[in-house]
Amino acid sequence: MRLACLLLIVLAMLSPPVFAVTMDGRIHPEEWQGALHVSDFRQVQPLNGKPATLPTEAWVLATPQGLAVAFRCTQPPGVPRSTQQVQRDFEDQVDRVNLIVDFNGDGRTGYNFTVSYSGGVYDAVVTNESNFNKDWDGIWQSAVSHDAQGWTVEILVPWYTAPMHRADGGKRIIGLYLDRVVAASGERDSWPLASFQQARFLSDFRRIEVPQYSQALLAVTPYVSGLYDNVRGRSHLSEGADIFWKPNGQFQLTAALNPDFGQVESDDLVVNFSATETYISDKRPFFTENQGIFDFSLLDDNSQLVYTRRVGGPADDGHGASPIDAAVKLNGSVGNTSYGVLAADEGGEAGRFFGAARIVHDFGTQSLGLMLTRVDRPWLDRDATVFGVDHHWHPTPQLTIATNVLGSDILQHGTRSQGEGATTLVDYDMDDGWRQEWAGMHFGGRLQVNDFGYLERNDLNYAHWEVRKRNADLPDDSLYSSHDWRVRVDALDNTHGLELRRQLRIERISTLHNGATEDVELNINSAAWDDLLTRGHGALYLPPTFDLMFEHDSPRHGDWSYKLPVEVVSGGLGGNRSVGWDIKFLPTYYVSDRFSVYAGPYIQRVPDWLVWQHDNLVGRYNQRTLELDSGFDWSIDGRQELRLKLQAIGLDAHLRSGYVVAANGRAVASDEPISSFGVRNLGLQIRYRYELAPLSYLYVVYGRGGYALDDFRRDVTSQFDNSFALRDEEQLLVKLDYRFGI
């Protein structure tokens, strides 16, 4: 027995000590013994690969508690520092550091952790090489300290943050990316030399070997909320819970019982008279937690096979939103195969069942994935099934090829309809800043994915070729630090061969030495057909048009920052003879580092606005819009924040004439009665949030809003003024949720 004890003591003395890193924002050498030391940071914004202007060092250490990373950012007194407080998931141009971890090292999914100079945090999930989704909020630790010569950040990311493949031999290969942004100049310096401005980003991370650790987690987040409806004079009390269980890195379960999917963050107001649906991102925690496995993009803007805003959305019977009884999500992996299962069941007679299953296998330079979704809609006697296969291939470090095929099977009232689609994207990074991209899409006229997914339209064939040239070696006396030129030609037809668009696009995206960004884009469109305007009652032939856009985004300088987008666009039946414009100016004034106020107008004039009435009847309007976007952000202290968001819209549409779309696609004047109209829209939210613990909050939210479509004409100023009287909804919500972790 004594010999055994002696042997244990000797082994302990010979084994390297394991130190826990204390998150205090100070680098203690004994805590970081054996850490990977990084000092070769290179400029990626502008993307020229030159050594960083200001020295940055980093240390990376795998510990039983999680992946620990420290940054030391040299910033002498002559370089301004951004000391303003920022909200979680901020987008302000401030001094900050970024850590992105690909826990499987396969280039499929990354987790982004950002810490600002003032200690603000941002986290996001990165998929499809460079698609950032900041709706996800994780549990991780950070700390910041400052001194005369710079500032220091420490970050600790627990191993239970993400599902990961099983490792062999007690070692794990992860992908790693570190960067630092200097707000005063906009310079971004990274290690390794990788940029989300290029086709490959996640795939270019540095692969490092770390010890294999595993952490289990069981977290239960019960909630209780009370809502008082001041318009209808009634109240509602609800309670439920979210459950998160991760016994190991290869399995993870998320469940919601009687979930409260009410939004505590308001969506932006949208006035949409087009034939296509507006995409709105989802901020509900259940649907953002480890959602990356369900990413199945169709290349067409926000298109996805799983669009979680469908769940709990407008009910099939048209009576408000559908209540959700329960939802569950499984994530895991077996070897190099990752999987995910998602199910949600709505209550009530018009309730729906949503289901999705996803499998992705990694072959090194290639990955192959399958996706199956199913939606049962008994109120409509409709069952919708969609199946997709996606393939990603990196045959060389410069070449990326992404392809997918999909099909839908819809059974409604005993009638079956099947459709198909396919997309491909080829991206080739050449030398000296040149880059080419080829894209092709086909969505059949019977393809239907919007029972669970999102696709702006089907019935199309699309192709484009784009060439880019990056210039990041501008003279020192230039106002700009880099330009990224892009030229694209594209063709869009429907599946019957009708020409919907031929477009030439010329764009320049620039960064300035003062940290600002600038975007100029010109689109020139040939004459073409609009087959969506009349909702299936005939395609309208329209003359050539153009669209010229300019946007300048200036970070904080002194007490001010601002955004300035401007657009000049032609359209309607007059084509280039009918030119409209819009402008938005949104300045922000910083009363202090903790309190900022923003307010600015959006003004639009469209002299030839076409609005569908019914059948093949179209109204031609002279439209004016006036909008206010305003609010304030107050970080009271490290745990409390108060936010105000106010948007008001007034729209005046003065009728010029009415037209019917003839069989040959021409607009023919009509005497059928059509009236001028106006729109008023209001959204107001005041939100107080107190952080009790990580991901545990007390919310007090007051909201008011309304929408009115007036069939009589007022001028746009009157419409805007009267929008403040809208009161379709007025509610007070108090919500408490607390996360218990075991």
* CB contact at 8 A, 126 and 110: yes
Between residues 715 and 17, which one has the greater pLDDT? 715
**pLDDT computed for residue 419 by the predictor:** 97
Count CB neighbours of 68 within 10 A: 23
Work out the average pLDDT over 534-549.
97
Least confident of 240-254, 261-275, 294-308, 669-683: 261-275
CA 135 remoteness from chain centre: 7
Q: What is the 3-state secondary structure (H, E, C) of 472-489?
A: CCCCCCCCEEEEEEEEEE
| Whole-angstrom distance, CA of residue 673 vs CA of residue 649 | 27
Helix or strand (DSSP H, E) at 644? strand 640-661
Express each pLDDT in 129-161 by its tens digit: 888 988 888 889 999 999 999 999 999 999 988
Report the pLDDT value the prediction gives residue 2, as an integer from 0 to 100.
40
Mean pLDDT computed over every residue of the chain: 91
pLDDT in tens, 339-373: 999 999 998 889 999 999 999 998 888 999 999 99
Extract the tokens encoding 6: 């002696």
pLDDT of residue 608: 97
pLDDT per residue as tens digits for the range 40-92: 999 999 999 999 999 999 999 999 999 999 999 999 999 999 999 998 889 88
C-alpha distances in Å from residue 184, one per residue of 72, 82, 437, 553 = 18, 8, 33, 14
pLDDT of 306 > 90? The answer is yes
pLDDT tens digits, 401-442:
999 999 999 999 999 999 999 999 999 988 888 999 999 999
> Mean of the pLDDT values across residues 121-134?
89
pLDDT score at 432: 86
Separation of first and last alpha carbons in the chain: 36
Confidence of residue 262 (pLDDT cuts 50, 70, 90): low
Residues 6+ apart with CB under 8 A from 10: none
**What values do phi and psi take at 250, rounded to 5?**
-100, 0
Least confident stretch, 278-292, 443-457, 474-488, 721-735 = 278-292
Q: Which one-letter amino acid corresponds to residue 656?
A: R
Q: Where are the domains of the chain?
A: 16-214, 216-221+237-262+277-414
What's the CATH fold of domain 16-214? Immunoglobulin-like (2.60.40)
What's the pLDDT score for residue 5? 40
- Residue 395, judged by CB atoms within 10 A of its CB (0-12, 13-18, 19+), counts as exposed
pLDDT given for residue 263 in this prediction: 59
Enumerate residues 6+ apart whose C-beta is below 8 A from 554.
514, 515, 516, 561, 562, 563, 564
- Mapped onto helix, strand or coil, the DSSP state of residue 670 is strand
Average pLDDT over residues 109-119: 95
Question: Of 55, 74, 94, 66, nearest to 157 (Cα)?
Answer: 66
Looking at the chain, the whole-number percentage of residues with pLDDT higher than 90 is 75
* Number of other residues whose CB lies within 10 A of the CB of residue 593: 13
pLDDT confidence of residue 18? 43
Q: How confident is the model at residue 584 (pLDDT cuts 50, 70, 90)?
A: very high
Q: How confident is the model at residue 260 (pLDDT cuts 50, 70, 90)?
A: low
**pLDDT at site 261:** 53
